[in-house]
């Protein structure tokens, strides 16, 4: 199949220019002025921007959490992604205690199986470092998995001690794998949660008060320091505040290969949201911070202190007692209210895979924080580079996958959960206005989304194998 995108303005991380794009067999074949191709299907992109599809490197589809499971499965979550202009994501295969890494990966792949509609990869989370698991790490490379997620938090659940973390980092350095960390001090968080619960401090705001910013700062600098000693590259997920970004910046100033991500919720939400009657919607970890942190993170994205925006997409219903209708089918699942009035029992997580690009365009580019090129860099190019997918994905160049978003910078809408495609019953950006939306979304040259219309086919999303020794940006 041959496709010719004509008349658009191509935006990459480096350039903005007018050109046509010829697509053959799912790849970009040629870029140039006034291209012609016999028999090609023509897509008119006049007046529109043409950008690489978004890559969300931090998602949790169908993740078991407390008594429930995150409400987007691989189909509904990937479809939501596509409607938001994202054509590739990397999800986490989490090792359960007693499991091997291969068992964890097989279980995760079985869930994705034939539901996929965009391309996807996996990180492996190591939560139980036995000798056999340590020996197994090398073989993850054969599966196309180059990233190891480690938790400094979630004591007695996922958390590893510093010795285990350091051992894994030493091995990762040798194999060219990237270590990703959830950086909060698990002992501090665990102690504060227990004290607050014991004292009857159960309201959602105590979630934030049990996860202080300086505990994130401590864990961030500890991870940076351990990575320095091990000679490993490090990627800190979901950074929320000035205190922790400062610690990472300290590492980068010393020339260390350390990088950081933030997520939309940390750019928009604050502890005021937790104090609302429906505050449980904003319970995720690390927690929301303050207005000054929102502002600090916007600056850090603009000036290069932070390298990516991902989402930690992990939605739940809010009111799990009332089923919703999704795609004509009734969907029911215990929601955030299953935690009752106790913040410590509320499933942690929120949505974002569909909201990420339009929110960051409207409030990032539109508000003058950064350029369209920096937007592409944060949303697609840096994620592809850091995670070993570049230049197959993350840019518009000859031989790259034709994962393309035709973006209408003038299109507007207001966010309402009913018209978003994530399978949940609320949206934490409810009522916010957007200017700049995906108009058409292509995965390897195949049309997935055209306005409100859906053309994706279940099973057509491909698992992407990634390469080690990826770029540091």
Please report, as ranges, the residues that interact with Zn ion according to CB under 5 A: 312
262-276-326 Cα angle (round to 5):
70
CB of 94 to Zn ion, least distance (A): 10
CB of 268 to Zn ion, least distance (A): 18
Residue 401 class from Cβ within 10 Å (0-12 exposed, 13-18 middle, 19+ buried)? Answer: buried
**CB-wise, 70 or 146, nearer to Zn ion?**
70
**CB-wise, 184 or 312, nearer to Zn ion?**
312
**CB-wise, 243 or 312, nearer to Zn ion?**
312
**CB-wise, 58 or 374, nearer to Zn ion?**
58
CB burial string 267-285: b at 16+ within 10 A, e below: bbbbbebbeeeebbbbbbb
**CB-wise, 90 or 406, nearer to Zn ion?**
90
CB of 269 to Zn ion, least distance (A): 16
| Token reading at 400 | 């790259």
| Token reading at 347 | 């499933």
CB of 455 to Zn ion, least distance (A): 30
Terminal Cα distance for the chain, rounded: 35
**CB-wise, 310 or 376, nearer to Zn ion?**
310
Minimal CB distance residue for Zn ion? 312
CB of 192 to Zn ion, least distance (A): 20
**CB-wise, 28 or 178, nearer to Zn ion?**
178
Give yes or no for a contact between 434 and 412, defined as CB atoms under 8 angstroms apart. yes
CB of 280 to Zn ion, least distance (A): 18
CB of 383 to Zn ion, least distance (A): 15
**CB-wise, 312 or 354, nearer to Zn ion?**
312
Q: Which H, E and C letters describe the chain, residue by residue?
A: CEEEEECCEEECCCCEEECEEEEECCEEEEEECCCCCCCCEEEECCCCEEEECEEEEEECCCCEECCEECCCCHHHHHHHHHHCCEEEEEEEEECCCCCCHHHHHHHHHHHHHHHCCCEEEEEEECCCCCHHHHHHHHHHHHHCCCEEEEECCCCCCCECCHHHHHHHHHHHHHHCCEEEEECCCHHHHHHHHHHHHHCCCCCCHHHHHCCCHHHHHHHHHHHHHHHHHHCCEEEECCCCCHHHHHHHHHHHHCCCCEEEEECHHHHHCEHHHHCCCCHHHHCCCCCCECHHHHHHHHHHHHHCCCCEECCCECCCCCCCCCCEEECCEEECCCCHHHHCCCHHHCCCCECCCCCHHHHHHHHHHCCCCCCHHHHHHHHHHHHHHHCCCCCCCCCCCCCCECCEEEEEEEEEEECCHHHCCCCCCCCCCCCCEEEEEEEEEEECCEEEEECCEECCCCCCCCECCCCCCCCCC
CB of 312 to Zn ion, least distance (A): 4
**CB-wise, 45 or 346, nearer to Zn ion?**
346
CB of 4 to Zn ion, least distance (A): 39
CB of 215 to Zn ion, least distance (A): 17
| Token reading at 263 | 């997520």
CB of 58 to Zn ion, least distance (A): 6
**CB-wise, 57 or 443, nearer to Zn ion?**
57
**CB-wise, 216 or 312, nearer to Zn ion?**
312
């Amino acid at each position: 199949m041959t496709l010719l995108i004509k008349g658009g303005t191509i935006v990459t991380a480096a350039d903005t220019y007018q050109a046509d794009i010829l697509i053959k067999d799912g790849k970009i074949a040629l870029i140039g002025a006034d291209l012609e191709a016999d028999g090609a299907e023509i897509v008119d992109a006049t007046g529109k921007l043409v950008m690489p599809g978004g890559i969300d490197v931090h998602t949790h589809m169908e993740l078991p959490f407390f008594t429930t499971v995150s409400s987007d499965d691989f189909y509904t979550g990937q479809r939501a992604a596509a409607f938001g202009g994202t054509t590739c994501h990397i999800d986490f295969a989490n090792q359960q205690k007693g499991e091997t890494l291969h068992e964890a990966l097989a279980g995760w792949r079985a869930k994705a199986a034939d539901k996929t509609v965009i391309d996807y990869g996996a990180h492996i989370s190591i939560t139980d470092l036995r000798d056999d698991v340590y020996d197994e790490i090398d073989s993850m490379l054969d599966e196309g998995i180059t990233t190891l997620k480690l938790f400094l938090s979630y004591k007695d659940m996922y958390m590893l001690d510093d010795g285990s973390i350091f051992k894994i980092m030493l091995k990762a350095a040798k194999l060219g794998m990237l270590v990703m960390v959830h950086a909060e001090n698990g002992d501090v968080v665990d102690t504060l949660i227990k004290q607050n619960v014991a004292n009857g401090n159960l309201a959602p705001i105590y979630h934030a008060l049990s996860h202080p910013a300086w505990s994130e700062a401590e864990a961030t600098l500890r991870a940076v320091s351990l990575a320095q000693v091990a000679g490993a590259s490090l990627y800190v997920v979901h950074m929320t505040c000035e205190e922790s970004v400062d610690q990472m910046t300290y590492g980068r100033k010393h020339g260390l290969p350390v990088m950081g991500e933030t997520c939309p919720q940390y750019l928009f939400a604050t502890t005021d949201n937790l104090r609302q009657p429906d505050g449980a919607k904003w319970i995720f970890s690390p927690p929301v911070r303050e207005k000054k942190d929102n502002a600090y993170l916007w600056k850090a994205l603009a000036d290069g202190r932070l390298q990516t925006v991902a989402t930690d997409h992990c939605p739940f219903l809010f009111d799990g007692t009332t089923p919703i209708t999704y795609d004509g089918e009734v969907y029911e699942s215990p929601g955030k209210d299953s935690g009752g009035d106790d913040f410590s029992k509320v499933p942690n997580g929120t949505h974002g895979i569909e909201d990420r690009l339009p929110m960051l365009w409207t409030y990032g580019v539109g508000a003058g924080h950064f350029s369209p090129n920096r937007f592409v860099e944060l949303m697609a190019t840096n994620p592809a580079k850091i995670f070993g997918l570049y230049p197959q994905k993350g840019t518009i160049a000859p031989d790259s996958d034709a994962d393309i978003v035709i973006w209408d910078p003038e299109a507007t809408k207001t966010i309402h959960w009913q018209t978003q495609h994530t399978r949940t019953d609320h949206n934490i950006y409810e009522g916010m206005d957007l200017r700049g939306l995906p108009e058409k979304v292509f995965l390897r040259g195949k049309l997935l989304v055209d306005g409100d219309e859906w053309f994706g086919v279940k099973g057509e999303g491909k698992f992407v194998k990634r390469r080690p020794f990826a770029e540091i940006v």
